[in-house]
Structures are given as structure tokens and as C-alpha cells.
Structure 1
């Protein structure tokens, strides 16, 4: 773990963070004030960033790679709720605010590089920048809406319909997410996904 301010690629990483969906309106002085709080972490494919049920939570800004948000039943059955790629973010802010355990895990789908900081620090920082807090809370609502729409889709659309919706909404992820992960996200078997592709239905 290396703090952004001490990272050998600091300038490149800072420019990348300035494009993040939450941070892009942050002025120079404010961004400089945030830098000392951000740790840069490299994750391998499959690494866990957040464990479902955890109480220590962090804010994540994706610099490279793809993350997934996953919820598991007591029996161990898993459901992928969403993916996050470069310039996106993930968080368990709502659970932290409600003082409840993390309701899902966050894992690396591919090799990933992430800037992160503890949620208490992030919340305290946002209190000094109302525009940033407004952007962040809007994004939280957008993510919740996205997850809800995905869950409804799994019940209302047939297999080709689910795949078509994903390709329409997230074309940039179609070739980046491993087929096994994509099939799981769409509640399909890898064989069904492959069959649809070879049949020309997707």
C-alpha cells in the first residue's frame, strides 16, 4: 500500500482520479487536500476488497481493471449485483451510515488498481465540500437504481433479453468481463451464454 502523495506514478494516477465520476468536479486545492488520504492498492484477479458482513468499510475509486459487487446467501449461493470499471467507484456508504455490516462483498474481476480511504475519513472530507457530497450521494442513488433494475431484469427478461440489455447498457464491458462472470451476472450457465453467442442471438 502506497499513499498517492508518495507514489512514483503520482501525476498519472492523479490525472486519472480527476476523471472519476465522483471526483471530476473537485477543484485543484480540494483535490490536493484529498491526496494525502488516498492509498493506492494493486489487486490480483479474485482478490477481496470488502467482505460481506464486515464493519470496517472503505471508499474505492477504480483506476484500472474491473471490480464486482457480490452478495451471498447463508448457503453460499452468490449473485453479482454490478461491475465497476475505470473512472467508476464502489462503496458501502449506506451500510456504514446506517451502522450495519457490509451487505455485500467487493472483489476484483480482473487485475485492478484502486485508490481507497476509510469511509469515516471520506465522510469527514465530503462535509467540507458540499458539491462533492451532492455528486457522491447522487451516484449512490444511481447505483442503487442500477442494482434494482438489474434484479428486476433477471425476473422479467428471457436469456437473450438479459444479454441484449447488458450489451446495450455496458458494451465496454462485454469483452473485458470473463464469460463465467458475465454468465453468473446474467443468471445463466456459461454453456447457455456460449450457445446464444454461437447461435447468433447475441
Structure 2
């Protein structure tokens, strides 16, 4: 993989060119088949992934044993269960490939070594973590304050590739509604 891919992902003015070379070498490419699990609930995450191509989701099981999609991930995004990885605790989520794809994996120990050596990477990590806290907070507020139709329209506007490429049952669970409700919402939108 070219160094500029990693420069795009770990974008920071505090990381030097030779640092990016070291960061790139620390990752290994992995092809993933649709339906495969990269992390299972109850296991401790030992790495995280950068998506080059493909679509992925994270999901949990609710109190009735139903799958509930918690997030979707696409190219140039990190697929990471931060709590499990950094606190060395069992994951509460599962990560699944929704299509064939390619990811770049970095092991926890190797990432820790890079954090110790590259100051700019530590700064990047703080910035990334902060921005994702805001994203999670914003999503939780929208789930509580928007009706189902507006949540669907918001997803359609912000991430149209999800609407085009992901099975409806996963989109419905992500939006907190049933498949039937999602079908009704989609029909109403098309007819208006």
C-alpha cells in the first residue's frame, strides 16, 4: 500500500514523512470475505483495521437475542472496538464484513510501540478519539429526538452508500425500527 493512503488516514501535521513510512510498515493487508467476523462479542480485540475497500458493520444482540446494528464502516474508516482494544476487556460488539473487502490491520502491541515513538501519532489519536466521541454523542441525541422518517432521511443524506448497498434489515436495526416500518417509510418518501 502506498504511504499516502496512511497519510490520509493518520493525517496530522505533527507526523513526519519517515514516520509515515514506519506507520505503513506496521500494517498488514488482509482480504475479507462477505459475512466473515473480524471480532466477536466476548473476545478481546487484539488489533484494529483500516478499510481500503468494502462495507462492514458492528452489531450487538439485544435482550431478546436479536441483532442490532450499531454502526456501518466504509473505505478510509477505522474499524475499531476502542474499549476492548485499549482497556483489554471483552468486546460487547461483533464486527462483520457486509461485502468482500480489503483492510489493513495493525496489532495492539505494535500500535502501542508506535505511540511511544511517534509523538505526532499520539496527537492524531487524541484528535481522532475526540471527534468520534462527538459523532457518537450526536447519533445518540438524534436517536432520541428525531422520528424514524427523519432518521432515515438523515442517513440517506449523510451516507447514501449505506442505503444503496446494505440489506434493509441491517439499516432498520441501525435506525431502531422494524423492517416493515422501514419499507413503509421508503414507500412514503418515493410517493411524495
For Structure 1 versus Structure 2, the TM-score category normalised by the shorter chain is: 0.7 to 0.9
CA distance, structure 2, for counterparts of residue 47 and residue 151 of structure 1: 28
Any residues of structure 2 matched to 1:182-201 within 5 Å, and which?
182-200=171-189
Partner of 1:47: 36
TM-score (norm 1): 0.81
Judged with a 3 Å threshold, the aligned counterparts in structure 2 of structure 1 residues 157 and 180 are, in CA distance, closer, same or farther, namely same
Q: CA deviation at 1:47?
A: 0.9
Number of aligned residues: 189
Partner of 1:157: 146
1:81·1:147 contact (CA, 8 Å) conserved in 2?
Answer: no
Partner of 2:127: 138
Q: CA deviation at 1:87?
A: 0.9
Unaligned runs of 5+ in 1: 1-9
CA distance, structure 2, for counterparts of residue 170 and residue 73 of structure 1: 25
Partner of 1:126: 115
1:55·1:96 contact (CA, 8 Å) conserved in 2?
Answer: yes
CA distance, structure 1, for counterparts of residue 128 and residue 70 of structure 2: 16
CA distance, structure 1, for counterparts of residue 173 and residue 56 of structure 2: 14
CA distance, structure 2, for counterparts of residue 180 and residue 137 of structure 1: 34
Q: CA deviation at 1:56?
A: 4.2
Alignment RMSD: 2.3
Q: CA deviation at 1:127?
A: 2.0
CA distance, structure 2, for counterparts of residue 171 and residue 154 of structure 1: 18
1:71·1:105 contact (CA, 8 Å) conserved in 2?
Answer: yes
CA distance, structure 1, for counterparts of residue 113 and residue 82 of structure 2: 12
1:57 aligns with 2:49: no
Q: CA deviation at 1:71?
A: 2.1
Partner of 1:34: 23
Unaligned runs of 5+ in 2: none
Partner of 1:24: 11
Any residues of structure 2 matched to 1:101-116 within 5 Å, and which?
101-116=90-105
Judged with a 3 Å threshold, the aligned counterparts in structure 2 of structure 1 residues 75 and 68 are, in CA distance, closer, same or farther, namely same
